[in-house]
Every structure is written in C-alpha cells, then in structure tokens.
Amino acid sequence: MKFFIDTANLNDIAEAQALGVLDGVTTNPSLMAKEGITGTDNIIAHYKKICDLVEGDVSAEVISTDFEGMVKEGEALAALHPQIVVKLPLIADGIKACKYFSDKGIRTNVTLVFSPGQALLAAKAGATYVSPFIGRLDDISTDGLNLISEIRLIYDNYGFQTQILAASVRHTMHIIDCAKLGSDVMTGPLSAIKGLLKHPLTDSGLAQFLADYQKGNK
C-alpha cells in the first residue's frame, strides 16, 4: 500500500519523508490556499519545492473545467517535473482530458469521486489513480469505506490497472480500514500517519526495557 500525504505544508511533507514511509504527495487548490500559496507562479514554484522534497508522485490539480483548458494546464504541469501527476475533476471534460493524457502517457489522478460508477468511468478513461473521498462521504452519513470495497470489486472483476487512492482520509483507522479493503494508496494528513505509531504497550514496554538496562548497568 502506498502512503501519500495530503497537504501542501512543506514541514509536514519533510517530516513524513524523513520517516521513510512516504510514497508521494497529493494537493488541491484548497490545500494550497490553506498554506497561503496563491497566484500561478507561486503555485508552480511550490510544486517544484514539493518535488524536490520527495521521491514519489506529486498530484497537481488543474483549475480549468473545460477540456481545452485542462489539456493546456495539465500539459504545463506535467512538463514541470517528471514526478507530477495531473489531477482532474470527475466531470465529463475531466474524463475526456483523462483519456487524452492517458493516450499520451501522461499520468493522471481523477479526483472528487463519490460513486462506483464515477470510478468505473475514470478507469475506462485510463486514469493512473482514482480518488474516492471517503471522509466527505462519512460527513453526510454515507459509508465512505463501502465505496472503496465497491471500486475494488469492480476493478478486480475486469483487471483495471487504475490504482485506488483513498482520499479525504481523516484519521488513523481510515488508513487501517483502507488497507484491509485493498486500497492501493491512501492519502491523509501527517497526524493520521503518525497515529499508526501509537500503542501504550510499546511505550510501557520500552520504558521497562530501558529501566531494566539501567539497573543492570549501574
């Protein structure tokens, strides 16, 4: 299972990278705005900084909603760095653009996916990644994890190579549940990744080992 971090915060990205378990980064316009990164030039410079920090895939989202605009923006983003994956919204023009990029060998991440039918379309269009937003489904009393299971079943039925990238992951249990369900990738905040470290028996066991070592080595 690949671990992506879902942020544009360089400190969080660097901390996850230093942990040695990071496979990539996902961003979106809201995450960029949260870090105060505005204006095309600054956003592009920020993508380059992220690519310099990590070794894996870095999703960069287009803001156009028409096919021609998405193609123009996506080609410019893909040309920035070999690690860039063009992130496209799951709308008709986004699917057309996904097929266009897929035919050209440019990797894509189709985002804002909330149903198995949308995920099927993304796979048919040759998406590299599909991003079902599980947290936002949970927010409206709909089982986000069930969507991961449904997409897994559909993709396995036909051998689609599109990777399921569980997005809108909010906490540590989301990561564990996505891993059980066979999600190829998860993207979440640093706090959710670090939550995987935690167990009180690890802490108390380590404290005991160190105390016993001290006793024996006085």
Give the one residue of 100, 133, 155, 160 binding ligand G3P; rule: CB under 6 A. 133
Dihedrals phi, psi of 168, to nearest 5 degrees:
60, 35
CB 29 → ligand G3P: shortest distance, Å? 10
Give the one residue of 127, 187, 190, 193 binding ligand G3P; rule: CB under 6 A. 187
CA pair distance 193, 170, nearest whole angstrom? 10
- Up-side HSE of residue 150: CA atoms within 13 Å toward CB? 15
Q: For residues 6 and 12, which CB has a smaller minimum distance to ligand G3P in the complex? A: 6
Beta strands per DSSP E along the chain:
2-6, 24-26, 57-61, 84-89, 108-113, 129-132, 163-166, 185-188
Instruction: Give the residue carrying structure tokens 């549940």.
Output: 177
CB 115 → ligand G3P: shortest distance, Å? 16
Stretch that binds ligand G3P, among 12-20, 150-158, 167-175, 191-199 (CB under 6 A): 167-175
Q: Specify which residues 3 forms β-bridges with.
A: 186
Give the one residue of 3, 13, 25, 26 binding ligand G3P; rule: CB under 6 A. 26
Residue 108 interacting with ligand G3P (CB under 6 A): no
Enzyme catalytic residues: 87
Q: For residues 133 and 155, which CB has a smaller minimum distance to ligand G3P in the complex? A: 133
Q: Are 56 and 22 in contact (CB under 8 A)?
A: yes
CA pair distance 163, 70, nearest whole angstrom? 21
Stretch that binds ligand G3P, among 34-42, 128-136, 194-202, 206-214 (CB under 6 A): 128-136
Residue 2 interacting with ligand G3P (CB under 6 A): no
Residue 59 interacting with ligand G3P (CB under 6 A): no
Residue 168 interacting with ligand G3P (CB under 6 A): yes
Give the one residue of 84, 121, 167, 192 binding ligand G3P; rule: CB under 6 A. 167
Residue 136 interacting with ligand G3P (CB under 6 A): yes
Nearest alpha carbon to residue 130 among 97, 166, 168, 158: 166
Write out the two tokens for 216.
């024996």
Report helix, strand or coil for 115: coil
Report helix, strand or coil for 183: coil
CB 137 → ligand G3P: shortest distance, Å? 9
Q: Return residues touching ligand G3P (CB under 6 A).
A: 6, 26, 28, 31, 133, 135-136, 167-168, 170, 187
